[in-house]
Amino acid sequence: MGFNGFNVRKPRHRPHGDLIAVLDVGSSKVVCFIARIDEVGRPTVIGIGHQVSQGIKGGAVIDMEVAEQSIGTAVNAAEKLAGETIREVVLNLSGGHPTSQTMAVEVAISGHEVGEGDVRRAMRAHGHAHVPPDSEIVHAIPVDFAVDGARGIHDPRGMFGTTLSVDLHLVSAATGAVRNLMTCIGRCHLACETLVVSPYAAGLACLVEDEKQLGCAVLDLGGGTTSLAVFLEGRMVFSDCIPVGGNHVTSDIARGLSTPLAHAERLKTLFGSCTASIADDRETLHVPLVGEEEPARSTHVPKSLLTGIIQPRMEETLELVRGRLEASGFSKVAGRRVVLTGGGSQLQGVRELAQQVLDKQVRMGRPAPLRGLAEATAGPAFAVAVGLVGYAVEQPSEAALVGGQEEEVGVGFFSRLGGWLRDL
């Protein structure tokens, strides 16, 4: 099956033979995909590397040295398979608490034809005004253009009027977290081509075109984070992130049952569920105790105890998501649909629980099939990595910014936006 998940129009920036490298630095695992663009502009994965991540917590680097090691190992494995060396990666950002805001920008165009310069002027006038201190813009997505108040314009170039306005969706994240990640990547001798927040990539990978157009929320249930994005009319209009994920469920189990973390993880993935069943009291689970070497020193607990630990934590996490979604004002826009993905979405019963808590129709989202990707790396835990490939191919209409200084930010911002407008 061809690569059709991203509505690939034409390879705008990626010529035949071009290499794409993406890196998902997650709290549980680091994934690197290397893909090559074929003659019709589709990516084929030629190298895969993944590795349990260390030194990453809540999506952010907390130990530079060990994080560098796990990133290096994953990248090396992918390079070896691909027979290529990579220098630049499309990189995900889960840490630094990325948050959204929408900003309206207006400039006078005094009756002349709208050109690229006008849009650039609009950005320059107000581009940085609303960004919180100590944070930087990761995404700047024009969600709507209006000329003289007539909204709903996708490309304003060539139109006449007196004022041009742009609704910009800005996603900004803590500067410290962004810099730490960049430094870590730099220490692996890699540069970051673009930074993409996790739920954006997850949405690109898992939502079908109709969902993106009509309005849909995607929820990436990760190890250290739970993040969400709302898509409407083909664009991401809102995103948020909660620093709680599947790893918290695992530590709850370890604590609650006094069992080692590794065993708690095993119990969760094999027998865990977020919805109780009547059989739970009859079924017992073998639980080795923490710090005990002898297998005899273990205990048996009813499965209901395990469910009783998992369910409240998952419920709480989903309630937080509901709260963020409602506070954002985008809950209605997202319609009645929610798509779940990420490693944590594999927890039994999570769909039913999400349906209950969010009061929406919930479906499980597997990433769109990517050529060359083995079954083992095509599951929901790899949605972000697949979405990053999609992002690299599609180059969605936005001005993404990476880098430290204001000036650099500005330059990247305008040149990317200019590039996008030229290519429209």
The residues of the shown chain that bind ligand ATP, judged by CB under 6 A, are 26-29, 59, 94, 198, 222-225, 245-247, 250, 265, 268-269, 342-344, 346-347, 381
Smallest Cα–Cα separation from 137: which of 419, 405, 383? 405
Q: Least CB distance from residue 220 to Mg ion, whole Å? A: 6
**Residue 344 near residue 221, CB atoms below 8 Å:** yes
The b/e string for 104-133 (b: 16+ C-beta within 10 A; e otherwise) is: ebebebeeeebebebbbbbbeeebeeebee
Q: Least CB distance from residue 273 to ligand ATP, whole Å? A: 9
- Please state the φ and ψ torsions of residue 238, each to the nearest 5 degrees: -160, 145
Smallest Cα–Cα separation from 361: which of 325, 335, 331, 327? 335
- Residue 95 near Mg ion by CB under 5 A: no
DSSP 102-162: EEEEEEE-TTSB--HHHHHHHHHHHTTTTPPTTEEEEEEEEEEEEETTEEEES--TT-B-S
Which one, 29 or 139, has the nearer CB to ligand ATP?
29
Residue 51 binds which entry of Mg ion, ligand ATP, none, CB below 5-8 Å type-dependent: none
**Residue 365 near residue 341, CB atoms below 8 Å:** yes
Q: Least CB distance from residue 175 to Mg ion, whole Å? A: 21
Residue 118 binds which entry of ligand ATP, Mg ion, none, CB below 5-8 Å type-dependent: none
Q: Which helix (H) or strand (E) holds 19?
A: strand 19-25
Residue 273 binds which entry of Mg ion, ligand ATP, none, CB below 5-8 Å type-dependent: none
Which one, 205 or 384, has the nearer CB to Mg ion?
384
Which one, 54 or 346, has the nearer CB to ligand ATP?
346
Joined together, the tokens standing for residue 401 give 């910014």
**Residue 234 near residue 214, CB atoms below 8 Å:** no
Which one, 224 or 288, has the nearer CB to ligand ATP?
224
With a CB cutoff of 8 Å and minimum separation 6, the contacts of 405 are none
Joined together, the tokens standing for residue 390 give 């999609």
Residue 416 binds which entry of Mg ion, ligand ATP, none, CB below 5-8 Å type-dependent: none
Which one, 98 or 222, has the nearer CB to Mg ion?
222
Contact stretch for Mg ion (CB under 5 A) within 60-68, 78-86, 231-239, 381-389: 381-389
Among 222, 243, 390, 403, which residue interacts with Mg ion (rule: CB under 5 A)?
Answer: 222
DSSP 278-329: GGGGT-EEEEEPTT--STTSEEEEEHHHHHHHHHHHHHHHHHHHHHHHHHHT
Residue 28 binds which entry of ligand ATP, Mg ion, none, CB below 5-8 Å type-dependent: ligand ATP
- Residue 26 near Mg ion by CB under 5 A: yes
Q: Least CB distance from residue 395 to ligand ATP, whole Å? A: 23
Which one, 245 or 390, has the nearer CB to ligand ATP?
245
Q: How many residues line the site for Mg ion (CB under 5 A)?
A: 3
Compute the distance between CA of residue 324 and CA of residue 229 in angstroms, rounded to an integer.
11
Which one, 100 or 348, has the nearer CB to ligand ATP?
348
Residue 367 binds which entry of ligand ATP, Mg ion, none, CB below 5-8 Å type-dependent: none
Which one, 225 or 331, has the nearer CB to ligand ATP?
225
Task: Please say whether the dihedral angle defined by the alpha carbons of residues 45, 47, 51 and 56, taken in this order, is positive or negative.
Answer: negative
Joined together, the tokens standing for residue 414 give 């305008």
Q: Least CB distance from residue 349 to ligand ATP, whole Å? A: 10
Q: Least CB distance from residue 253 to ligand ATP, whole Å? A: 10
Q: Which helix (H) or strand (E) holds 172?
A: strand 163-174
Q: Least CB distance from residue 226 to ligand ATP, whole Å? A: 7
Residue 20 binds which entry of ligand ATP, Mg ion, none, CB below 5-8 Å type-dependent: none
Q: Least CB distance from residue 154 to ligand ATP, whole Å? A: 32
Q: Least CB distance from residue 384 to Mg ion, whole Å? A: 5
Residue 381 binds which entry of ligand ATP, Mg ion, none, CB below 5-8 Å type-dependent: ligand ATP
Query: What is the DSSP code (8-state) at residue 181?
Result: H
Helix axes 350-358, 303-328, angle to 10 degrees: 40
Residues lying near Mg ion in the complex (CB under 5 A) are found at 26, 222, 384
